[in-house]
Structure 1
């Protein structure tokens, strides 16, 4: 994918030219209201009713123009307000919907550093397209504009725009990995992708194969992956700048394809299950971004990678696995596999006594029932959960705090092992029960005085978009929570 050349300009609109002039509009009570210094305002506004344009978010109206500097005029809706998030989404939506135009000028009426950076970020993210597996139809795909100019009278520090480029690369990297079919992205190739991503950076990548996983007692990852001929991997990605005062550990779920195992999913439910590694891709990308931004914080990411397939060697219901920390787990449903691989990752992360642990996983369908597909759930230690939610607000990504009620722990009692991976007779609060399970594998602080601060992000709803694109969110893998995690790392770096 080729990213557009996005630039800022403080020039007067009448000194610029492009294939399409993009204007913003908010949906006012008396109809859409144009933003910025639009030419021929009355003529444009008069056509809104004719075409039924209301200024809703992602709504785009393209009109002819007599202005010789522009081939046409497009109006992009921002919704009810022109806040920073709306500006970011409108810029992304306009760039994506106007694919085929060679050049764009965006006049969204912005006049602040925050909104200018948001528009720059949106325009950069909106250009994403995944065409790696197109054959005969590849040439028919319209490319996004090669040149996008954003009008803003506000000067923006160069480092702010460089940060946007790093974040966009990180998000697009996650999208590419998530969109790659399971036949192409499997444990070993995912590990190789992590190694390639770290090339030229002060990042070390250590890959544990099945033999090393066995030596280290990682029964969760081994158990989930034993049904596939392409055996599991654990990838440790480390960024450790000199003088870093704090250490944040990430753990990511990397199920490169999930059939459900012997507790097999219905056929329709397997569609998009190559996306079940989005958590591991997210923490990998955030770590690479931290290195590129030279953040003064130590970051260790643990990628727990396996295929959950069906064969004569697959784990069975009632099998007992021994996790890295010695906990034995009775598997009552092989489709609750993500928490099994994450248990090993959380135990390993805890052994290094980081200041905090954040895990990211497309873990439960229950979280989609609870929060829909545009909000991720966050559970864990209150202070860290609050930090993640606030970082998400800054990044324009919705996260919502969820509880981990103590009484749920009893539902995970096993007849014969230390723990069960779920309770098949209880369907209520499934995402919370999964969080309670994961909490069992978060270790103590170095001095033993308490538990390491931990937050669990369930991105089952936000990590994949099976519908039409909207705002900065493309179809397929979304790269959700990457920008939030980088913001958290920046907070840790001080």
Structure 2
């Protein structure tokens, strides 16, 4: 990871004895691939918040902070099992966010794979830090589309509740994801990225800070941070599944108590649609 310049993944995982990883999965079909799709999923195997430690209440549910990674691994395996005519590359950053004498700290400046830097203001905004490296790496594959999913912000749960995911990104791909979610039965809502919120990420010592100091538009600010690592011209979508990824209540619909698998159904439907669109020329 150090040789690969994955400074974000290394920083977040630095507090744990369990070393961080960057997992890459590459599927190519037996026949011609009609398009190339990159998928990225957040794999924080446990999130204590690090030095900016979380409250004890419900910290046990932070075992679910790898839901984005699990969904993308499952999607990659599903695409391969179905033999779909697409080149699919999954990039999965994995780390455990714990406080210790070696943990990354507020005021640290992290250098990411693409050379951008971030001043750490909150170690509990770690998902975007590992995803920055993963998105930058995924863009190097020059995909036609990039889809990322993560339990990124508590603000998403506050805004949309426990059953609805927020979707940001390029207008076209965001719209395709929303349409696919409606066909798949997974509740999602298109969210804006107001340009004025980007100013909240300005830093005097780095390209940006990892978390704004106020609580306004936290889900949208998280989307802005990720957008900084998407290559210009790349169609991309970010699905914040902080609400629906883990069901702490009783079962409902086809969602069991515990991990729900959201947004695998939407991802498959979206990818099938992108393949059909590419095949039609």
TM-score, with length taken from structure 2: 0.97
Contact 1:238 1:299 in 2 (8 A): yes
Could you tell me how far apart the structure 1 residues matched to 2:106 and 2:114 are? 22
SS at match of 2:42: strand
Match among 167, 187, 191 for residue 398 of structure 1: 187
Gaps of 5+ in 1: 1-212, 445-450
Match among 91, 113, 126 for residue 302 of structure 1: 91
SS at match of 1:288: helix
Aligned structure 1 segments of 4 or more residues deviating by more than 6 angstroms: none
1:431 matches 2:219: yes
1:262 matches 2:51: yes
Could you tell me how far apart the structure 2 residues matched to 1:226 and 1:269 are? 24
The residue number in structure 2 matching 1:472 is 254
CA RMSD of aligned residues (A): 0.7
The residue number in structure 2 matching 1:357 is 146
The residue number in structure 1 matching 2:279 is none
Could you tell me how far apart the structure 2 residues matched to 1:351 and 1:309 are? 30
The residue number in structure 2 matching 1:200 is none
SS at match of 2:262: coil
1:237 matches 2:25: yes
Offset at 1:415? 1.7
Offset at 1:378? 0.3
The residue number in structure 2 matching 1:457 is 239
The residue number in structure 1 matching 2:135 is 346
Number of residue pairs matched? 275
The residue number in structure 2 matching 1:412 is 201
Gaps of 5+ in 2: 277-281
Structure-to-structure mapping, 1:13-52, within 5 angstroms? none
SS at match of 2:102: coil
Offset at 1:418? 1.1
Q: Which has the larger radius of gyration?
A: 1
CA deviation digits over 1:346-380, x for unaligned, max 9?
10011111001110000101001111111110001
Match among 367, 379, 397 for residue 168 of structure 2: 379
Could you tell me how far apart the structure 1 residues matched to 2:191 and 2:58 are? 26
Offset at 1:240? 1.2
Offset at 1:270? 1.2
Offset at 1:269? 3.8
1:483 matches 2:271: no
The residue number in structure 2 matching 1:314 is 103
Could you tell me how far apart the structure 2 residues matched to 1:269 and 1:311 are? 21
Could you tell me how far apart the structure 1 residues matched to 2:198 and 2:265 are? 32
TM-score, with length taken from structure 1: 0.55
Which of structures 1 and 2 has the larger relative contact order (alpha carbons within 8 angstroms, sep 6+)? 2
1:421 matches 2:210: yes
The residue number in structure 2 matching 1:73 is none
CA deviation digits over 1:304-358, x for unaligned, max 9?
1000001100001000110010001100000000000000011001111100111
Could you tell me how far apart the structure 1 residues matched to 2:201 and 2:166 are? 21
CA deviation digits over 1:3-32, x for unaligned, max 9?
xxxxxxxxxxxxxxxxxxxxxxxxxxxxxx
The residue number in structure 1 matching 2:78 is 289
CA deviation digits over 1:266-298, x for unaligned, max 9?
111412100000000101101110011111111
1:388 matches 2:184: no
